[in-house]
Structure 1
Amino acid sequence: MTSITYSDAVTDALDRLDDLGYERAGRQDLANHGPMGAEALAALGHPEAIPAWVTGYRNAIAHNDPPGPRFAIDPAEESSWRPALGAFDRVGDWEALFRRELADAPWRDVLVRWWPRLLPGLFSRLTHGPIRTAHAVRSVAATSSPSPQQITELARGLAYWAARFTTLPGQASLGGQRTVAEAVAAAPRAPINPATPPAALLRDGLSSLLDQPGYTDTLQALRADHVQVLLSTMTAQFAGLCLAQTRYTPVPLVHGVTAPAALRLVLPYLPAGLHEPTLTAMWQTHTALLFLFAGDSHDEDDIRARAAETEVPGFDDLIAAAVEHGDEHVIKFTDACLREHLLRPDPRYPAAALAVQQRIPRRGKPS
């Protein structure tokens, strides 16, 4: 049987997904997860599953048409590109810009140039902008000769981040005295009505974050640590929240793991001076996720100990179950938990991967 390489599998998937727009059709403008899910399947060692998965994804979810460019954005003129940040009707213009940039310069140079410009908007559509960018970075970095499809996907990841650029209220810092666990435990949180859709929580909650007791203190509470260690404590803590918070859909909180795990994929290609600002922006995003979607803090103190006592399949079985499950969030979350667990083992990762597989509905098989 002929085997297919990771890069070839990703390129084929991007070809199959090329005509899908940036977001799903309908009243909830949710991000296109096709390229991210397919790349994660390839990274998990299941490239053979991608064609059927792409077919199932396309059959299950309608997407808006890809937009075309309208007005050129000049990357050298701040007065041209800055007003276009967060303007989703300019996403075609952003894609055209990044296509030009990536045609004229090495992809890493483009990434380093735009990363600090986009970083304040890390929350971009519940972090889907930077996550899509990170999956594309992993793809192009895996080969010395990225395919045109892989380069286009990087342009689209950056374009989506820019067009859904979303700043959060307040100012985060890593100048506090608390660990991630201590900061999360100290944050006062209110219960969430489980019937409220995530889109409504976002719409109503973002504008009132500064009014929530403890929000500003939490932004300033975290103490600096080694970048890689801090990323690990961030992902492990939010994997624990995914385990403990069972009264609301887990989908928003899984991004508290997949987003910092995605940033870890990109950090090796950024100068060291951008590492701490990246983690500071991630902590601001974590604080928002905590106050918007974590609800009241119940049964969280001993979640690591309880996770260690939980009988969980090995990661080979968890990966196989995620592939069979088919949901894009489950696939990406399993990928992130596996990578994080390999770097710094913690029982919350496999337990959370299993719990999310059990709580998110399965994707139907393609017809």
Structure 2
Amino acid sequence: MSDDKSGTLDEALERLHTTGPERGGWLSNHAPMAVEALVRHGQAPAVHRWLDAYGPKLEELPAPHTPVTAATWREALGDPARITDWTRFFARELSEHPWREVLATWWPRLLPGIAGGATHPVIRTGHAVRTLLGSPEETAPRRAELAHALGYWAARHQPLPPVAPLAAAPDAAGALDSVPPVPGQEGGIRSRLAQLTALPAWAAGAPDPEAARTRLTELVTAATHRYASHGHGEPIMLVHAATAPNAVLRTLPALPRELWAPSLAAAWAAAAAVTAAYTPREAAPYAATSLTAEEVFARAAAHGDDHTIKFADTALDVADPVALAAAVRAVELNPPVS
């Protein structure tokens, strides 16, 4: 992570923790994820200015209802009205236990609902874990951010419908290409995901942990590359086909190795589901870029769109020419923040 000697990230997270994870009904608050990416890639001086522009969109934390407890959590799982109850529950858990222990306990409970909230909760969790893994000091704002991320995921937890396994392609790129589109390519993501009936069984089986990590890395690369030629199908939503599995990949080092294979399976389900929900009829040509990784991210930061910033962050993890071209394509396709 870029050396954040100014403490900008912690300042930004503290500023954001008075706001809820959603706005306008169920649109996600992307600010915690975007500011983490901005700081990581050397754009800390732009963070508070970016927040000044983004902040008016945000809403206060929802009112609490009934505390979530170790005895009652199952009945609260997947209830968006309990977002603040869940956030307070995880804040208590993280005050009493090491964060890796809390994550290891709750990751397998939350993983089946990875697609809930259009995958934003798992993406926010991946950013939060990265701040803790990359920090010499586990600061209070970074632990609080993990509580907010996990609370959001628990409240929006929504398993995908059961799907029939289709024949798997030999690699992740081929598997994504063979995902059948849902029949109704209109409406919101929840109505689209409800139409899923079958997906390629690319992540089937139980590979050993290192094989699972290798295949997850391959999936992130393939989904990032695919955006370059298919992102025009839905420029905002299709970034999640790459950023959601990348959030899982970023989290693996903090998890027990026995959770790596099921993490791969869930990440594949999320990436494939988003691909099925927003598949364009045809691929489109895209241009190569001569920009460096640093220049690509600087362009995304100047563009200002939250999804574009987060996608560029994932593209820099892949860091090959097609991934950088895909990030530039996201800048071209998504409307800039004025």
Partner of 2:236: 251
| Letter paired with 1:69 | P
Greater displacement, 109-118 / 231-240: 231-240
CA distance in 2, matches of 1:7, 1:233: 35
Partner of 1:331: 309
Cα pair distance change 1:177/1:188, threshold 3 Å? closer
| Letter paired with 1:65 | E
Partner of 2:60: 65
Partner of 1:87: 79
Post-superposition CA distance 1:328-360 (Å, at most 9, x none): 11111111110122xxx3x32011000001111
Task: Output the aligned Cα RMSD.
Answer: 2.5
Post-superposition CA distance 1:52-75 (Å, at most 9, x none): 11111113x2x2320243212222
Post-superposition CA distance 1:193-213 (Å, at most 9, x none): 6xx4xxx24232222212xxx
- Stretches of structure 2 that go unaligned for 5 or more consecutive residues are none
CA distance in 2, matches of 1:124, 1:112: 19
Post-superposition CA distance 1:147-178 (Å, at most 9, x none): 22221111000000000001001258899563
CA contact (8 A) 1:170 1:219 kept: no
CA contact (8 A) 1:172 1:220 kept: no
| Letter paired with 2:270 | T
Partner of 1:129: 121
How far did 1:192 drift?
7.3
CA distance in 1, matches of 2:6, 2:29: 20
CA distance in 2, matches of 1:321, 1:20: 28
Cα pair distance change 1:4/1:234, threshold 3 Å? closer
Counterpart of 1:203 (choices 186, 190, 199) is 190
How far did 1:181 drift?
2.2
Partner of 1:20: 19
Q: 3-state SS of the aligned residue for 2:234? A: coil
Post-superposition CA distance 1:19-67 (Å, at most 9, x none): 2211112x5x2111111111110111111111111111113x2x23202
Post-superposition CA distance 1:198-232 (Å, at most 9, x none): xx24232222212xxxx24x146767582232122
Partner of 1:360: 334
Partner of 2:292: 314
Cα pair distance change 1:286/1:274, threshold 3 Å? same
CA distance in 2, matches of 1:120, 1:81: 15
CA distance in 2, matches of 1:98, 1:190: 36
CA distance in 2, matches of 1:66, 1:241: 36
Count of matched residue positions in the alignment of Structure 1 and Structure 2: 334
Higher Cα Rg: structure 1 or 2?
A: 1
How far did 1:318 drift?
0.7
Q: 3-state SS of the aligned residue for 2:34? A: helix
Cα pair distance change 1:265/1:93, threshold 3 Å? same
CA contact (8 A) 2:77 2:154 kept: yes
Q: 3-state SS of the aligned residue for 2:120? A: helix
Indicate yes or no: 2:268 matched with 1:283. yes
How far did 1:82 drift?
1.3
Q: 3-state SS of the aligned residue for 1:299? A: coil
How far did 1:97 drift?
0.7
| Letter paired with 2:7 | D
Partner of 1:299: 283
Partner of 1:303: none
Cα pair distance change 1:84/1:4, threshold 3 Å? same
TM-score normalized with structure 1 length:
0.84
Partner of 2:37: 40
Partner of 1:261: 246
CA distance in 1, matches of 2:100, 2:166: 27
CA contact (8 A) 1:129 1:158 kept: yes
How far did 1:363 drift?
1.0
Question: Which runs of 4 or more aligned residues in structure 1 lie more than 4 Å from their structure 2 counterparts after TM superposition?
Answer: 171-177, 190-193, 220-225
Partner of 1:54: 51
